[in-house]
Amino acid sequence: MKNQTRLAVLAALTLWMSHFVLGQATFSVVKVPGASANSYVAINDNGQVLLNTATTISNQISLWSRTGGSQSVALVGSNNGGAAINNSGQVAGASGPNSSGNLEAFLWRAAAGSQWLGTLGSGFSVATGLNNAGAVVGQSYTSSYVQHAFLWTQTGSMQDLTPALVSIGGSTAMGINASNQIAGYFFPSVAENTLGFLWTQAGGLQSFGSSGTLAYAINDPGTVVGQSTFANGFKHAFSWTQAGGMNDLGTLGGPESAALGISNRGWIVGTSLTSSGTGLLHGFLWTPAGGMQDLATVAGLSSNHQPYWVQVNNFGVIAMTSNLGGYLLIPKMSATFTSSANPSVKGQPVTFTATLTSIAGPPPDGETVRFTFKGILLGTGTLKGGVASITTPAMTVGSGTVFAVYSGDANYLSTKYNALVQVVNP
């Protein structure tokens, strides 16, 4: 039964750049400990990564971040699967609450533990999406064992989003945004293939896409991404909006691709076949400015990485699982430095300015850059719009390298730069 329910979880969860040179590695790669190969992964804006770990006897969930380490998501049973994490660190997924063998959707909070969300009448439900307000979406079987999409809120409990649907394939809600717009897919009555849907409380269910469309995620502006069949007959990653309709995102040269996640800035991540003809998937990043790029190129990953699930947060940090485990792809900060007087003379005030940026833009305002000269701290500048500066007269005679250290944060790595060589004359 454990294997059967685990497969059910997996089935439910499945169902800029102009200043960077193309081909240059613009991401740093950080190994994520504890992630099983070919498992689901999610990341929030605080750099917390949701991990699923499988052993021969159990499937468990944990959280990990570079700054906070690991934290177990304590649940009963041994067949637990996480699907989504929000910015408060809440986790949604599915687990077995009792000995029946049925999975039930849950919402977990660090302080309160897990809350079981119930079902639509059958004793089986799976959560697949979560927003920052704690609203959860997913799928559940009804009392007549038809799979229906649901929305759960703390005040409204579980709501059936497709109550009139009687098709055997049913429906699944995959993502929910801050406005409670919900994206997913369903089988229309007597149809053998899916359509994508957007659901709102005011407008109900709106279908879109060609036969076979799967919608996987939605961002706060309302853009939906997933996979759909286009005119050439192949399944490609897409983005869709109510105003603009379907947009074919293309591939990395091969016949098929799928978009799995989208950030509020419109960055889209997923998987694609390449032109190599090997039949092996590569991860991709699609941006409005740069189009579709191979993660193997922009992050310097080897072709041995075969991605399974890919997600991106609103700071441009990408979380992925592959056949080799879990990884974070973190935008690299590049920097330029200037000195107001070089050479200068002893006692002369000198202003040093650092300008930092990345493929995701500058670091957040309020973070810091420390400047040193000959091992002496000259001062600490506070970043605003990616720019930090200090003014100091405390420099000894001679020449030496000014070093600058960007502090980093939960998303971006701390970085030490050889800023420039400063000459101080007597």
To 10 degrees, the CA torsion angle through 290, 291, 295, 296?
-90
Residue-by-residue DSSP string for 221-284: T--EEEEEE-TTSSEEEEEEETTTEEEEEE-BEEEEEEEEEE-TT--EEEEEEETTSS--EEEE
What confidence score (pLDDT) does residue 305 get?
86
Domain limits, the chain: 2-331, 334-425
Element (H, E) at 19: none
Contact 100, 79 (CB under 8 A): no
- Topology of 334-425 in CATH? Immunoglobulin-like (2.60.40)
173 CB-near residues (< 8 Å, 6+ apart): 128, 129, 137, 138, 139, 149, 150, 151, 161, 182, 183, 184, 199
State which amino acid sits at residue 299.
A
Give residue 245's region: left, alpha or beta (phi > 0; psi -120 to 50).
left
CA 68 to chain CA centroid, Å, is: 18
SS3 label, residue 6 = helix
Q: Which CATH superfamily is domain 2-331 in?
A: YVTN repeat-like/Quinoprotein amine dehydrogenase (2.130.10.10)
| Low-confidence spans in the chain with pLDDT less than 70 | 1-24, 99-100
Q: Which of 307, 409, 320 is nearest to 360 (CA)?
A: 409
What confidence score (pLDDT) does residue 76 get?
75
Q: What is the pTM of this model?
A: 0.92
What confidence score (pLDDT) does residue 21 get?
38
Structure tokens at 367: 């973070």
What confidence score (pLDDT) does residue 24 get?
67
How buried is 209 (Cβ within 10 angstroms: 0-12 exposed, 13-18 middle, 19+ buried)?
buried
Contact 199, 149 (CB under 8 A): yes
pLDDT, tens digit, for every residue of 58-76?
Answer: 789 999 999 999 999 988 7
